[in-house]
Structure 1
Amino acid sequence: MVESVKRAVRIIKELTGASPRLGVTELADRVGVSKSAMHGLLRTLESDGLVVQDQESGKYRLGPALVTFGNAYLDTHELRTRALTWSNLLATRTDEAVWVGVLVHDDVLVIHHVCRPGNVAQPLETGATLPWNTTALGKAIVAFSPEELRTSLLSRPPAALTGHSVTEPEVLEAQLAQAREVGYAVEKQEATLGDAGIAAPIFDRTGCAAGAIGLVGPVERLLDERHRQGCSIATRETARSLSRELGAHRFGNRIASF
């Protein structure tokens, strides 16, 4: 691997973390290079808009070019493109917010978000990343992923976002088994207090879980027994339709199983 590229990526990751503004000395220490080398790396990144320097503090933060790159990734993602219409239909059918997500390492990246129909103010979550084990999306994807991937993810310490986040591997394994049995996964206040999620896997033309589509809403409404039943059916049917659009009709038996 090219060391300078690795260092540039490390700088961006450090600025993406808990400290969105860092000075040259702090970055040099974290990346493991001299201050002079860090100055050169930052000047190069700044020239292309990947980082910008705050004029008052002299510290660096992420630059506007990353927004362009991020939007380009989302705009060219096949699953997101095909999910646009189906997500709107699912939101209308259930009267709930809809998320579409993909697995990126240990996290779920929300690649599309349809707000709940109505005039209620809702923050747009497209681009958000959450630990896989704290979301219904993540559990739906992992449940239907190859056993090697499940084993690998469960072998690493799961993250916790709330006091309800499930971090015990044996409990997560049981949840994943349940998701495979019923065809959808559930999350209850594990990512955000007061919210719940229901999600089903989306398969691609290779038969692998390419992502998941799901609903997010207040726990008392989404998991109300009658509403939950209708929501889970609608979510599975939408995931099945999306899977067929991605070419998964060749794996009809597997799709029909959920």
Structure 2
Amino acid sequence: MPGSIQSLERAAAILRLLAGGERQLALSDVAVTLGLAKGTVHGILRTLQQEGFVEQDPETGRYQLGAELLRLGNSYLDVHELRARSLMWADDLARVSGESVRIGVLHQGGVLVVHHVFRPDDSRQVLEVGAMRPLHATALGKVLLAFDPVAHGELDEELKSFTRRTLTDRAALERECGLIRERGWAGEREEAVEGVAGLAAPIRDRRGTPMGAVGIGGAVERLTERGEFPARLVAAVREASRSISRDLGAALF
């Protein structure tokens, strides 16, 4: 089994020291406390500063934690709260729809599944928490593209084709995103996986910002009727999205 990386251990030790001690510390204070050479500490602090994890006071030269750590911490708390608020509503959606339910968030140019409720039958299923799904070929992803401006910047330059139905033309994808914004939900039929369809709607936080998406997925024969999504399934997904959003402090939408 590979050993730990010493430079990362030292960087972590410095961050913990800055978090737990005085608000600002001098280079010499950090070096003495951790028993490290000043040159070593200076190099690590400079790297952490470049990445936004540490800031240096221009007048005193002392160091403190940077804003990037706050952003990462808030991101973790947001996802944790999203999952916690979604548990009951996701279970209800699985029961009402009879299909599996997934909660997804934008992550590294794709959709990260942070919660998954199995279809309520006796079939064998695989837990997908932690799985990544494409933005342009899934209902969850298209919801994020339609409602979250950040998602557009993370979309791959060349859209990968997964099936013959995958949207790989950006203009066509933009038109669909416009339609999704108008109706408030997204659907996909066999765009990511042959024989599988999906429905999803946005989840918003107290600021009205898109925080993620909730959706159902299953066999295209069950989720569609004459090629269309039944109104009852659309209503169930939208009600789940509104309920989770309300729990997160969002206004009615």
Tell me, yes or no, whether TM beats 0.5.
yes
Q: What SS class does the counterpart of residue 77 from structure 1 fall into?
A: helix
Determine which structure has more spread, i.e. the larger CA radius of gyration.
2
For 2:131 and 2:152, how far apart are their aligned partners in 1? Answer: 25
* 1:144-185: CA deviation from partner (whole Å, max 9, x where unpaired): 113xx3553457222332232211101111111111111100
The equivalent residue for 1:129 is 132
- TM-score, normalising length from structure 1? 0.64
- In the TM superposition, 1:146-185 aligns within 5 A as 146=149, 149=150, 151-153=152-154, 156-185=157-186
Aligned to 1:228: 230
Partner of 2:213: 212
The one-letter code of the counterpart of 2:177 is: L
CA distance in 1, matches of 2:151, 2:91: 31
C-alpha change, 1:86 and 1:141, in structure 2 (3 Å) is same
Which of 99, 106, 131 aligns to 1:103? It is 106
Rounded Cα–Cα distance in structure 1 between residues aligned with 2:153 and 2:116: 28
Matched residue, 1:83: 86
| Counterparts of 1:169 and 1:227, CA distance in 2 | 24
1:75-112 deviation digits (Å, cap 9, x = unpaired)? 97111111111000000011111111001131000111
The CA distance in 2 between the partners of 1:99 and 1:224, in whole Å, is 22
One-letter code of the match for 1:191?
A
- Partner amino acid, structure 2, of 1:117: P
Q: Secondary structure at the match of 1:108?
A: strand
Is the 2:109–2:155 contact (alpha carbons within 8 Å) kept by the matching residues of 1? Answer: no
Contact (CA 8 Å) 1:97, 1:215: kept in 2 or not?
A: yes
Q: Which moved more, 1:134-143 or 1:209-218?
A: 134-143
Amino acid at match of 1:174: R
Aligned counterparts of 2:160 and 2:202: Cα–Cα separation in 1: 21
- Corresponding residue SS for 2:136: helix
Runs of 4+ in 1 over 6 A off after TM superposition: 73-76
Residue 116 of structure 1 corresponds to: 119
Q: Any gaps of 5 or more consecutive residues in structure 2?
A: 1-6, 9-75
Q: Give the partner amino acid of 1:129.
A: M
Give the fraction of aligned pairs with identical amino acids, expressed as a percent: 45
Partner of 1:248: 250
Aligned equivalents of 2:208, 2:104: Cα separation in 1 = 17
Give the 3-state SS of the residue equivalent to 2:230 in structure 1.
helix
- Aligned Cα RMSD in Å? 2.2
User: Would the aligned equivalents of 1:74 and 1:111 in 2 still touch at CA under 8 Å?
Assistant: no
Distance 1:74 1:162, change over 3 A: farther
* Secondary structure, counterpart of 2:214 in structure 1: strand
Contact in 2 for aligned 1:99/1:213 (Cα 8 Å) = yes
- Cα pair distance change 1:177/1:109, threshold 3 Å: same
Secondary structure at 2:200 match in 1: strand
Q: Distance in 1 between matches of 2:118 and 2:194?
A: 18
Residue of structure 2 equivalent to 1:189: 190
Deviation at 1:228, TM superposition (A): 2.3
Match of 2:241 in 1: 239
